[in-house]
Amino acid sequence: MNESGCTTEEGLRRELVRFSRWLSRLGFTPGTSGNLSVRLDSRRLLVTPTGVSKGMVKASDMVIVDLHGRLLAGSRKVTSEISMHLAVYGQRQDVGAVVHSHPPTATAFACSGRALDEILCQEAVMTVGAVPLASYATTGTAEVAASMRPFISEHDAILLENHGAVSYGVTLLEAFMKMETVEHLAHVALVAHQLGSARPLGRDQVQQLQSARTKYVENVQEEGLSPQSGKEQAEHIAIEIPENVI
């Protein structure tokens, strides 16, 4: 289901095209890199194919796979990175869409062996929380999924060492916005440290923001703006608060 409540295959194909093009315009999917997927039902996924620019992909290019990554329908080949999508869907029944891309600043953090786990701004707490770094794994292998598994249940976005990032949510819009936010937070962290006076939020500040976020999600749910987002979604986002934070 997307943000407008679309559940038809035709509608979801159009949504994959739309968000693929947005990622391309942001510079997150250079060449033919990156991939997106969405649940069709409890047994099938609709996925962008391998070897196609996300800026030029068409609705007819999408492929359908089962929860083992086997091709069920489509004239193109399944992305070799399907295992990371399967890992997320396998551990998170609440997830309806997965986005993998290479946002430049966030990927630079991943290539430097640095997670985005220093909470520098309020937006981090209110959105994706801490973004961990999965250990190095060769792209297109099962190692990628294995490196992500320790983090999937407690996080909504993960950096992949020397590779890129993956984000996920109830809808494609939600997964896309989390990827966009990861890049924003990476840019903020980079500039804050370049300025030489980065000031992480303290424990009390983070806890106050977590309480505010829970209330916000509950209000949104009551308004019916995000029907599948609830209190449990707010609570599962992990934010580690260092013991030495003042």
If you write DSSP's letter for every residue of 16-38 in order, what string do you get?
HHHHHHHHHHTTSS-TT--EEEE
Look-up: residue for tokens 């440290």? 193
What is the b/e burial string over 93-107, where b = at least 16 CB atoms within 10 angstroms of the residue's CB? eebbbbbbbbbebbb
Contact between residue 149 and residue 83 where contact means Cβ atoms under 8 Å apart: no
Among the options 9, 15, 81, 183, which is catalytic? 81
**Euclidean distance between CA atoms 178 and 155, whole angstroms:** 11
Q: Which CATH superfamily is domain 9-121+128-195 in?
A: Class II aldolase/adducin N-terminal domain (3.40.225.10)
| Residues 6 or more apart in contact with residue 12 via CB below 8 angstroms | 2, 6, 38, 40, 46, 172
218 is catalytic: no
**Euclidean distance between CA atoms 52 and 35, whole angstroms:** 10
Helix (H, G, I), strand (E, B) or coil at 196: coil
- What ranges do the domains of the chain cover? 9-121+128-195
List the chain pLDDT tens, one digit each, 246 residues: 544 456 799 999 999 999 999 999 999 999 999 999 999 999 999 999 999 999 999 999 999 999 999 999 999 999 999 999 999 999 999 999 999 999 999 999 999 999 999 989 998 888 898 999 999 999 999 999 999 999 999 999 999 999 999 999 999 999 999 999 999 999 999 999 999 999 999 889 988 988 888 887 788 777 665 443 433 444 455 555 444 432
Question: Residue 237's pLDDT is what?
Answer: 55
